[in-house]
Amino acid sequence: MTLFSVCTTDTLADAAKALRAGSLVAFPTETVYGLGADAQNEKAVARIYEVKGRPADHPLIVHIDSMERMDAWSSDIPEYAIKLARDYWPGPMTLVLKRSDTAKDFITGGQETVGLRVPAHPLALGLLAAFVDAGGLGIAAPSANRFGAVSPTTADAVQEELEEYMADSDLILDGGPSLVGVESTIIDCTGDVPKILRLGAITHEMITETTGLDVIDFGSSTSDEDQIRVSGSLESHYSPKAKVILDVIAEPGDGLIAPDQIPTPNGVVRLMAPSTIEQYARDLYRALRSADQQGLQVVVVLQPGGDGLAAAIRDRLKRAAHE
- Overall average pLDDT of the 256-268 stretch: 97
Nearby residues of 164 by Cβ (< 8 Å), 6 or more positions away? none
Phi-psi region of 76 (alpha: psi -120 to 50; beta: other; left: phi over 0): left
DSSP structure class, residue 182: S
- Overall average pLDDT of the 30-36 stretch: 97
pLDDT at 232: 60
pLDDT at 228: 82
Is 243-320 the same fold as 2-211? no
Length of the chain: 323
SS3 81: helix
pLDDT at 219: 77
Superfamily of domain 2-211, CATH level 4: DHBP synthase (3.90.870.10)
pLDDT tier at 56, thresholds 50, 70, 90: confident
Q: Check if the beta carbon of residue 30 is closer than 8 Å to that of residue 92.
A: yes
> pLDDT, tens digit, for every residue of 73-132?
999 999 999 999 999 999 999 999 999 999 999 999 999 999 999 999 999 999 999 999
Q: What is the rounded distance in angstroms from the CA atom of residue 159 to the CA atom of residue 172?
A: 8
Largest CA distance in the chain: 60
Q: What is the rounded distance in angstroms from the CA atom of residue 323 to the CA atom of residue 314?
A: 16
49 pLDDT higher than 90: yes
Give the domain ranges of the chain: 2-211, 243-320
pLDDT at 239: 87
pLDDT tier at 6, thresholds 50, 70, 90: confident
CATH class (in words) of the domain with range 243-320:
alpha beta
pLDDT tier at 211, thresholds 50, 70, 90: very high
* Torsion sign, CA atoms 45, 47, 52, 55: positive
pLDDT tier at 222, thresholds 50, 70, 90: low
pLDDT at 43: 97
pLDDT at 114: 97
pLDDT at 235: 61
pLDDT at 5: 87
Q: What is the rounded distance in angstroms from the CA atom of residue 238 to the CA atom of residue 149?
A: 5
Task: State what percent of residues in the chain have pLDDT above 90.
Answer: 88
Q: What is the rounded distance in angstroms from the CA atom of residue 22 to the CA atom of residue 19?
A: 5
pLDDT at 172: 97
> pLDDT, tens digit, for every residue of 223-249?
555 678 776 656 666 789 999 999 999
pLDDT at 77: 97
Average pLDDT taken over every residue of the chain: 94
Q: What is the rounded distance in angstroms from the CA atom of residue 114 to the CA atom of residue 73?
A: 8
Q: Check if the beta carbon of residue 46 is closer than 8 Å to that of residue 140.
A: no
> pLDDT, tens digit, for every residue of 298-318?
999 999 999 999 999 999 999
Task: State what percent of residues in the chain have pLDDT above 70.
Answer: 95
